[in-house]
Amino acid sequence: MTGPAVPAIHHQAVLPDWIDYNRHMNVAYYVLVFDNALDVFLDDIGLTREYRDSSGRTNYVLETHVTYLREVHEGDPLAMTVRVLDCDQKRMHLFLEMYHKDKGYLAATSEQMLIHIDKAGPKACAMPDFILEKIEENKALYEDVPVPPQAGAVIGIRRKS
């Protein structure tokens, strides 16, 4: 329980309405909290509402893989991290982590592939240099941090030999 290796960019508490019949946060709200953290990251790299409105460009999430590692409950404070695992002119491969802010444990992860889109198509298009520079900066910041074991995981039933 050492906490995140990447600084948190978003904090949020688990709301009462997010609790399900098992008395922990429902899976849909894990995705919502990850999406809220993603919005903060996108603003940080310049993919703001203003950019999207003025450029006619946006990002779509192509794929996401969520792992649920430990329960969180009503009122629990969450700390969210986002890091770039890889990128090219059009895509970002991101890894998000959800920590219990006070207890330090990793509660869930979300691996995501995003693509930059020209809304007129809609079709994929290259990101502007000022955004690519910010993405590359984030990637470089955490190159020495090991890739999380959940990254690249394949879903399936593991059978005993």
Tell me: pLDDT of 103 over 80: yes
* Stretch 93-120: mean pLDDT: 97
Does 126 fall in a domain? yes
Band of the pLDDT at 52, cuts 50, 70, 90?
A: very high
Query: Residue 32 pLDDT more than 90?
Result: yes
The answer for 75, left when phi > 0, alpha when psi is -120 to 50, beta otherwise, is left
Is 159 among the domain residues?
no
Domain assignment of residue 160, yes or no: no
Supply the pLDDT for residue 2: 56
Give the range of the structural domain holding residue 52, as residue numbers without chain letter.
12-141
**Does the pLDDT value for residue 23 go beyond 90?**
yes
CA 34, CA 98: separation in Å to the nearest integer? 8
Q: What is the pLDDT of residue 53?
A: 96
The domain that holds 113 is classified in CATH as 3.10.129.10
134 in a structural domain? yes
Report the percentage of the chain scoring pLDDT > 90: 91
* Cα angle 105, 143, 140; round to 5: 115
Q: Is residue 19 part of a domain?
A: yes
| Mean of all residue pLDDT scores within the chain | 95
Here the tokens at position 39 are 């919005």
**Number of separate domains in the chain:** 1
How confident is the model at residue 3, as a pLDDT?
67
Higher-confidence residue: 161 or 148?
148
> Looking at residue 158, what is its pLDDT?
84
| CA max distance for the chain | 57
Residue 49 pLDDT > 90: yes
How far apart, in whole angstroms, are the C-alpha atoms of residue 86 and residue 139? Answer: 7
Question: What's the pLDDT band for 19 if we cut at 50, 70, 90?
Answer: very high
